[in-house]
Structures are given as structure tokens and as C-alpha cells.
Amino acid sequence: MKNVAIIGPGLLGGSIAMALRRKSPESTLSIWGRRQETLETVSKSGIADLVSTELSQVVAGADLIVFCVPIGAMGEIARKIVPFLKPGVLITDVGSVKGPVVQELAPIFESKACFIGSHPMAGSERAGIEAAQANLFEGAVCILTPTQESPELKKLRGFWELLGCQVRILSPQAHDETVALISHLPHLIAATLVNLVSNTNAGAMQFCGNGFRDTTRIASGPAAMWAEILLSNHDAVKNFTQAIIENLREVVTLLDRRDLDGVQALLTNANHQRDLLRK
């Protein structure tokens, strides 16, 4: 990747730039941002060769363009850059939902560029260029969601692996169902739990130990971005929320029956499954 353009210098865009500077010092890096102020921070940090609020300037000559803006902003930017694309350019994004993104962007770039969705699962509860780090992607899983065979897939895989990611391939739909379960539902639950505690007994917050801190850490993530993610993946998130409601109802039944064995079986299974995760 000789010329890389990053659209949006937030946590992920900034971290990609920092990681590339370190891992591929020969690459030329252009960064587009909406706000002059953020671009000045980026400029001072020295992580880019070019920073601009002009999309045409940033994407011209790029071999790889990475969309790191909120998913709702991608369509408009995609349409704007089409006239300035270098033939054969590879385009990807880092959005947390893939079905709607692929559905919207793929037709815009059809025949003009190759678009393959990416989802590096390296977000955190922090946001913005201030939180960016060169090692953000080390060991993180990155899911790619190609919709057809192409030599560009290998290129894109190589890009994320260079940054330290473990690459996995899923269809956009399988991706969205998977992350609804392991990311979007947990986010909703963490937020709902924090709200329940603060509404029921705000004083209880001062007694919280590390357990509660860890369990609810993701609830500190940027609200507007997450609301958009949850609604973009509406069906799967709703189905799994209903599923956990059902499962919690069964827990209430166990508690009602004072069923020690039943509760212990539930916790033992969770123990076992959770420990598989560690390895």
C-alpha cells in the first residue's frame, strides 16, 4: 500500500495512521477530517503526510481508502469521492455494522473501485484522536465481509495483518448477527444496568467494586455513535434482547423455586464457556 487515505481521524482512523507510520514508514498517508481543529492536532502529531478538509485532495492517488467516520456519514462521502478515485483503488471501512454499509457503498463504487467491508474489533469506551494508539490493533480480531471473490481480499487481509489484527471472514449478514450477540447486546445490557442502578439507588454507585466497573465499562462508549450502530443492526439486536429477556425470566423461576442446583448449573456452564474465551 503505497498511498493510504484515511477518512476521519477519530480513535480508529488515528490509530490506523499511527500504526501505519510505525509498521510501514514508506507509505504515504493522507487524512481527511471535517473539522480544521482536529486536523491541526493530527498535523502536529506528524502521523500524516497530508491533512485536508478537501476530500478530492485526500483520495486522489490513494491505493487504499479507509472510511473511519460514523456509518451514517459514509454514503454522502462515498458519492463525493467517486470522481476522484484512482482506477483499481481498494476501499474499506471500519464500521461496526456491515450489512447496511455494504448495501449502501458497494453500488456507489461498482466498477469504479473495489469495496470490501472491515470491522476491526478494537474499539474502546474512549473516542477521538486523543485516545488513538499505534498498538490498538495488536491481537484484535478484524472481520472482513467480502461479497465476492477478488484478489483485493488478500491485499486487505495483508493490510490488517500488518497492523497486528487476526483476520476472519464472514458474510455481512453473519457478521451483523455475530456482533449483535457479542458486542451490541452486551452494550445495551451494560447501559441498561447502569441506568437501573442509578435510578434505583444512586448511592449504591459509591460501593461499586471492580466487577461492576468491568461489567459496565463499555457503557461509557460514545452514545450517538452507539445509538446509530444499534439501530442499524435493529433486527438482530432486538431478537437477542428478547432472547436474553427470556433467559432472565428462567433465572427468576430458578430463584423463585430456590433451586440451588439449577442456579449452580447455570453458573457452572457460564464458567466453562467463559474460560474457553481466555485461551
> Which lies closer to its own copies via its Cβ, residue 82 or residue 196?
196
- Residue 149 Cβ vs its own copies, minimum distance, rounded to whole Å: 22
Task: Specify the DSSP class assigned to residue 182.
Answer: I
What is the four-CA torsion angle of 36, 98, 243, 269, rounded to 10 degrees? -90
- Residue 18 Cβ vs its own copies, minimum distance, rounded to whole Å: 18
- Residue 161 Cβ vs its own copies, minimum distance, rounded to whole Å: 16
- Residue 33 Cβ vs its own copies, minimum distance, rounded to whole Å: 23
Tell me if residue 201 falls in helix, strand or coil.
coil
> Which lies closer to its own copies via its Cβ, residue 111 or residue 206?
206
Distance, CA of 4 to CA of 156 (rounded, Å): 12
Q: What are phi and psi of 273, to 5 degrees?
A: -70, -40
User: For the chain, percent helix, then strand, then coil, each to nearest 5?
Assistant: 60, 15, 30
> Which lies closer to its own copies via its Cβ, residue 56 or residue 242?
242
Q: Which of 97, 121, 123 is nearest to 231 (CA)?
A: 97
Contact 77, 48 (CB under 8 A): no
Give bridge partners of residue 144 from the DSSP assignment.
118, 169
> Which lies closer to its own copies via its Cβ, residue 162 or residue 244?
244
> Which lies closer to its own copies via its Cβ, residue 157 or residue 187?
187
- Residue 206 Cβ vs its own copies, minimum distance, rounded to whole Å: 7
Contact 18, 134 (CB under 8 A): yes
- Residue 50 Cβ vs its own copies, minimum distance, rounded to whole Å: 31
- Residue 190 Cβ vs its own copies, minimum distance, rounded to whole Å: 6
> Which lies closer to its own copies via its Cβ, residue 103 or residue 268?
268
From residue 30, alpha-carbon distances to 43, 57, 61 in Å are 10, 9, 10
> Which lies closer to its own copies via its Cβ, residue 60 or residue 174?
174
Buried b (16+ CB within 10 A) or exposed e, 112-145: bbbbbbbbbbbbeeebebebbebebbeebebbbb
